[in-house]
Structure 1
């Protein structure tokens, strides 16, 4: 078994150049959205938001249907001219015409707490490269790990590893049961998931295992 491990290490890690993991980036987006804002609250015990954090009515945060968790949105109240920056950590609102649910604290900043709802314009101030989630489920973090399978042929794994690396993927190999090699590709971003699955299918891997993956800060 020691010889097997040594061969694996030499073939997979000694002969291939390791790719660097992507780093988190930020940037300003020209994205805008118009609609109705509302505010919401929850039980005093502070239930979990959609990204796994405790709901805090005093935080400047909000719920949005699709923006990545951790995105900071500038909410412009069209009635008062006031604005507030909020961080997206929840999902909603699920009422037609409403585009964002603010915490009570955020609603008070733009003076819409008493009114309940108000017409607003949303502008992205910051969007994280990796969505901020407390969970490790597909879609929560925005990163995926795709398991291709387990192999007993070391040379075959090396050939696949090299091909995947040359295609720009970040392959990884694990030894399982002291005799098999599990081959995966890691750190697939949300916007490259479908294209990656098509490439893998063309390489002879139509059936793969897709898992969510936390990014190692």
Structure 2
């Protein structure tokens, strides 16, 4: 009964019932293989528009917001380095972060080339540190999971999403009685995990619409 009431309030006021919390500083957000990379071209740019500097303590990650600081801990040698994310990669399956040569040396993986690591969040900026203004740089997503003409069906799906630990949001579409359900806000590094949860609930990944948004907490 309480959930049904909350669902109706959500529709009436068109406000998020919940907000996806960011990972807290000090928490391990990922574990996998780190590698290092460099560039043979002077003046080559990173994905956020900065000049690549092999002597800087920076790194490439597939999805973390530009400007995020993470501690990369080499589990093989018990060495760490704090790096700033300013590029995208690595693009080899199984690898989670690419370090500059300077960062790789400090983390003890310059000679080995790769190492098992953990990524511990230190800091996330409110606004991505990028010279561009592209959707993929925001680091936040909403996912549309469906639109329903039946209020009962919409509530049933809303309840399933809530029970799965997601953060559903319901809104009535203008000039119609249909209810649209979305899951928001999702940090970029949790996007794949969220999509897998939705797929397990029967929401086909190929039909899921993912939309990157500006940081909702700035």
Write the distance in 2 (CA, Å) between the matches of 1:32 and 1:144.
25
In structure 2, relative to structure 1, the CA distance for the partners of 1:74 and 1:41 (3 Å cut) is same
Tell me the equivalent position of 1:212: 211
What SS does structure 2 have at the residue aligned with 1:118?
coil
Equivalent position of 1:102 in the other structure: 99
The TM-score normalised by the length of structure 2 is 0.56
Q: Tell me the SS of whatever aligns to 1:213.
A: strand
Specify every segment of 5 or more residues in structure 2 that has no aligned partner in the other structure, as ranges: 1-7
Aligned CA-pair RMSD: 4.9
Residue 199 of structure 1 is matched in structure 2 by: 201
Distance change in 2, residues 1:53/1:59 (3 Å): farther
Deviation of 1:43 (Å): 5.2
Counterparts of 1:17-28 in structure 2, within 5 Å, are 19-26=17-24, 27-28=26-27
| Conserved 8 A contact 2:10-2:169 | no
**Aligned-residue offset at 1:17:** 9.4
Larger Cα-atom Rg = 1
Unaligned runs of 5+ in 1: 1-8
- 1:166 and 2:162 matched: no
Q: How does 1:42-53 map to 2 (within 5 A)?
A: 47-49=45-47, 52=48
Does residue 62 (structure 1) correspond to residue 55 (structure 2)? The answer is no
Q: Does 1:184 align with 2:198?
A: no
Quote how far apart the aligned CAs of 1:85 are: 1.6
1:123 and 1:160, CA in 2 relative to 1: closer, same or farther beyond 3 A? Answer: same
Structure 1 residue 148: Cα displacement: 1.4
1:104 Cα deviation after fit: 5.2
